[in-house]
Amino acid sequence: MNAARLPKMLALGRSDHDQLIAQIQYLTNENQILRSKLPKRLSLSPKERRRLIQFGKAVGDELRHIISIVQYSTFQKWLRAPKHKKKTKKRGGRPRTSAEIRKLVLEMTKSPGWGYTRILGELRKLGIMSVSQTTIRNILNEQGIEPSPDRSEPTWDQFLKRHSSTLWSCDFLTKPVLTWRGIKHQSVLVFMHIASRKVIVAGATEHPNNEWMCKVAECFPSMVKQLGLDPPGILVRDNDTKFTREFDDLLKAEGITPYKLPLQSPLMNAHIERWIKSLKVECLDHFIPVGTNHLDHIIGEYVEHYHFERPHQGLGNRVIKRTTPLSSEGVIKCDTRLGGILRHYHRAA
């Protein structure tokens, strides 16, 4: 090489090196600015990841100062990752039954008396051939549904829902009353319509004998009609001896079927039992009635409060008989009954 040209070539080499550093610095800063405008996390395809690995390995440790698309530690994990992942074997067996068919099978179990075979037949009618009787059994077992013989008999809850529109329940409550002869216990017969939760109180009496019970049985259909409800079909009652044979016969003559509950089964008459408890706790426990008329007045006030003013959890916290439309405007007022024992809030019209 000509010695006279060597200084010029060295100068040119230094110039190219300096220019390359300047370009790298510019591109690095530009890349950082662009990266700051993007989301913190970027999804890279396998092909893009391989490209970064290819060119990043050539940079070496200095990559830690310029990499911005991912953390440098992430890039190192890429380098350590195996090139080929071990393929996992697929599980054998039949594919899982589709969610649509499973839902249809569960819907069919609601029909009384439908067992595995009947459900299978219905599926065949619909052109569904991929389901076997064993599959149906497994679907029901997963949901804790018993075979047909164990679920063919309707539950008490299903019975109540099926007959709720014409189903009534009745029970007695007793309350000590102050009379001129001393403390006497009065009996009160209460009826409840299961669907609407409307209540009829037959009144208080000291002697709920057969004659009084027969009068109540004769008046019961007309009292139901006054509430604007359908004629009663079934009247559920317990085994109290006050419910005489003549009482049942008069109900049957009116087209009402008396349903006598099994012994020691208070939960089967839970609706009326709960209402009587509410009457006592919210109202009667705060009074010592003076005479039968006073007791009737107290209970009558509670029944009005119950029907028109008190919200009910069993009805979605609604009032049974609303006389005014719902409104979120107007002055809020508080009305009371029985000296403030019963209270309710409403908006002034």
pLDDT on residue 6: 45
Amino acid, res. 327: S
| 220 and 309, same domain (yes or no) | yes
Same domain, 212 and 117: no
Q: 66-70, 197-201, 259-263 — which is least confidently predicted? A: 66-70
- Residue 45 inside a domain? The answer is no
* Ranges 122-131, 147-156, 218-227, 280-289: which has the least confidence: 147-156
**pTM above 0.75?**
no
Mean pLDDT of 286-301: 94
Whether residue 272 is found in the same domain as residue 124: no
Backbone angles phi, psi at 191, to 5 degrees: -115, 145
Residue 1 has pLDDT above 50, yes or no: no
Q: What is the pLDDT of residue 16?
A: 56
Helices (H) and strands (E) in the chain, counts: 12, 9
CATH code where residue 267 lies: 3.30.420.10
pLDDT band at 8 (very low <50, low <70, confident <90, very high): very low
In this predicted structure, the answer to whether residue 187 has a pLDDT above a threshold of 50 is yes
Half-sphere exposure of 347 (CA within 13 A, CB side): 10
Q: Is the dihedral of CA 323, 325, 326, 329 positive or negative?
A: negative
Reply yes or no on whether the pLDDT at 221 is more than 70: yes
Q: Kindly tell me if the per-residue pLDDT of 20 is higher than 70.
A: no
Which tens digit of pLDDT belongs to each residue from 132-176?
Answer: 888 888 888 887 676 665 555 555 566 666 667 788 999 999 999
The per-residue pLDDT for 12 is 45
Distance CA 293, CA 289 (A): 9
The answer to whether 166 and 231 are in contact (CB under 8 A) is yes
Burial of residue 113 (number of CB atoms within 10 Å: 0-12, 13-18, 19+):
exposed
In the chain, the number of structural domains is 2
Q: How confident is the model at residue 88 (pLDDT cuts 50, 70, 90)?
A: low
Mean pLDDT (the chain) is 81
Q: Answer yes or no: is 230 within a domain.
A: yes
Same domain, 178 and 109: no
Is residue 138 domain-resident? Answer: yes
Domain with 176, as residue range(s), is 161-320
Determine the Cα–Cα distance for residues 32 and 51; give it in Å rounded to an integer. Answer: 19
What was the pLDDT predicted at 160? 63
pLDDT surpasses 60 at 5: no
% of residues, the chain, pLDDT over 70:
82
